[in-house]
């Protein structure tokens, strides 16, 4: 099953992973699908995920063995799922799995634990069903990239204890916020505003507050 058409190629693909508990409660979280090309057969793609201990995604995958990758370039859904539960009306069903209505492609995977580490479990994942819902063309937008990057740093900020490292992360996030303001469209700037609310609530941080005074 070739996932490149669905947008998942070699390297790390940042997607929204949807899962459900044994009782059927859906969950969504931004996760990188790692795709390596050095399979036993030349050119074969193999897919992996790291699922962190304590996460709902890991709990659900351990219960059901299943996860779905939702391919999207909507910055807002990355910010939302990084910090909160997504409301149930954002989900639909594909191959008996909860997936995001608005995604451009869905891939349902089965999973197999490869390695247990102190912080995470490393799974190989195997595509079982793919649906490409729409192909879209988007020029590179530094604002979109920057808001995704800032979201990743913001979740890391919550895990770091070292004060110098926290300060460095804050500097990077402010640099990224400025790029979003300059290069993003309304969707990316809106996502940044939501991210700013989240980091304010969670860490009492304010990213580039001067841009919000206007």
Nearest residue (CB) to its own copies, 90 versus 189: 189
Rounded CA-CA distance 48/133 in Å is 23
33 near its own copies (CB under 8 A):
yes
Site residues (CB under 8 A) for its own copies, limited to 104-123: 104-105
Nearest residue (CB) to its own copies, 61 versus 105: 105
| Closest approach of its own copies to the CB of residue 50, in Å | 12
**Which H or E run contains 200?**
helix 186-203
Indicate if the alpha-carbon torsion angle 148, 116, 123, 97 is positive or negative. negative
Rounded CA-CA distance 107/8 in Å is 9
- Which residues pair with residue 97 across a beta bridge? 94
| Sole window of 17-25, 120-128, 184-192, 194-202 interacting with its own copies (rule: CB under 8 A) | 184-192
Cα→Cα distances 120→18, 28, 110, 182, 207, Å:
18, 18, 18, 36, 29
| Sole window of 55-63, 94-102, 158-166, 179-187 interacting with its own copies (rule: CB under 8 A) | 179-187
Selected from 22, 93, 132, 160, the binder of its own copies by CB under 8 A is: 132
149 near its own copies (CB under 8 A):
yes
Using an 8 Å Cβ cutoff, are 104 and 71 in contact?
Answer: yes
81 near its own copies (CB under 8 A):
no
162 near its own copies (CB under 8 A):
no
Using an 8 Å Cβ cutoff, are 188 and 147 in contact?
Answer: yes
Residues 6+ apart with CB under 8 A from 53: 118, 119, 120, 121
| Closest approach of its own copies to the CB of residue 204, in Å | 25
With CB under 8 A, what is the number of residues at the site for its own copies? 45
Selected from 9, 39, 158, 209, the binder of its own copies by CB under 8 A is: 9
Residues that bind its own copies (CB under 8 A): 5-15, 32-33, 35, 37, 69, 71, 73, 78, 104-105, 132, 135-145, 148-149, 152, 172, 175, 182-188
């Amino acid at each position: 099953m070739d996932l490149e058409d669905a947008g998942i190629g070699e390297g790390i693909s940042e997607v929204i992973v949807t899962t459900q508990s044994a009782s059927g409660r859906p969950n969504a979280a931004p996760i990188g699908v790692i795709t390596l090309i050095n399979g036993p057969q030349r050119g074969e793609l193999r897919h992996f995920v790291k699922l962190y201990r304590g996460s709902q995604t890991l709990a659900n995958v351990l219960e059901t063995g299943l996860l779905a990758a939702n391919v999207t370039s909507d910055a807002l859904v990355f910010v939302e799922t990084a910090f909160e539960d997504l409301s149930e009306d954002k989900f639909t069903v594909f191959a008996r799995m909860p997936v995001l209505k608005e995604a451009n492609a869905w891939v349902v995977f089965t999973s197999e634990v490869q390695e247990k580490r102190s912080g995470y479990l490393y799974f190989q994942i195997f595509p079982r069903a793919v649906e490409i819902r729409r192909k879209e063309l988007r020029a590179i937008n530094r604002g979109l990239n920057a808001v995704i990057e800032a979201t990743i740093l913001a979740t890391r900020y919550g895990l770091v204890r070292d004060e110098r490292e926290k300060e460095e992360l804050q500097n990077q996030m402010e640099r990224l916020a400025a790029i979003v303001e300059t290069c993003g469209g309304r969707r990316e700037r809106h996502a940044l505003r939501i991210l700013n609310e989240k980091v304010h609530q969670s860490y009492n941080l304010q990213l580039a507050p001067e841009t919000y005074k206007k």
